[in-house]
Structure 1
């Protein structure tokens, strides 16, 4: 399975959208400065995820969310999840 995920840093007040085959490991990477964008903070928290059967599907969805360039869109996704 492949996933898209949205993490949030309260320190930076920013969201990050990514895709991965292992969300738990990827979150650890973000928390341990193994990602250029997320290394500025150490308080990333998983807020949202979706599951896909192929890497291509997950990547296409990641790009779709990123193309929206909308914090409101991301927050709406998170809110409708729970």
Structure 2
């Protein structure tokens, strides 16, 4: 199982979309500053996650969520 997740930094009103095999470990990496692209916007909170059976399907969903259509989906379904 591989997870696609959306993080939110309330303090900076920023979102981050990613994928991982271990959701708890990955969130810990984001919140301890180990990820260069998210380090300046600590702290992060998981606002949405989905599981996918393989990396190919997860990558398709991650790319969609990073697109303008995916941002619209996030706004309509997550209220953000």
TM-score (norm. length: structure 1): 0.84
Deviation by residue 1:16-67 (Cα, 9 ceiling, x = unmatched) = 0001111111100100111122101221000001110001111110001112
1:69/1:29 CA distance change after superposition, 3 Å: farther
Secondary structure at the counterpart of residue 49 of structure 1: strand
- Give the conservation status (yes or no) of the 8 Å contact 2:14–2:41: no
Deviation at 1:71, TM superposition (A): 4.2
Superposition CA RMSD, Å: 1.6
The equivalent of 1:59 in structure 2 is: 59
Q: Which runs of 5+ in 2 are unaligned?
A: none
Question: Partners of 2:32 and 2:26 in 1: how far apart?
Answer: 10
Question: Partners of 2:13 and 2:51 in 1: how far apart?
Answer: 25
Question: Partners of 1:69 and 1:43 in 2: how far apart?
Answer: 26
Match status 1:18 vs 2:18: yes
- Give the conservation status (yes or no) of the 8 Å contact 1:31–1:41: no
Q: Which runs of 5+ in 1 are unaligned?
A: none
Question: Partners of 1:77 and 1:11 in 2: how far apart?
Answer: 21
The equivalent of 1:8 in structure 2 is: 8
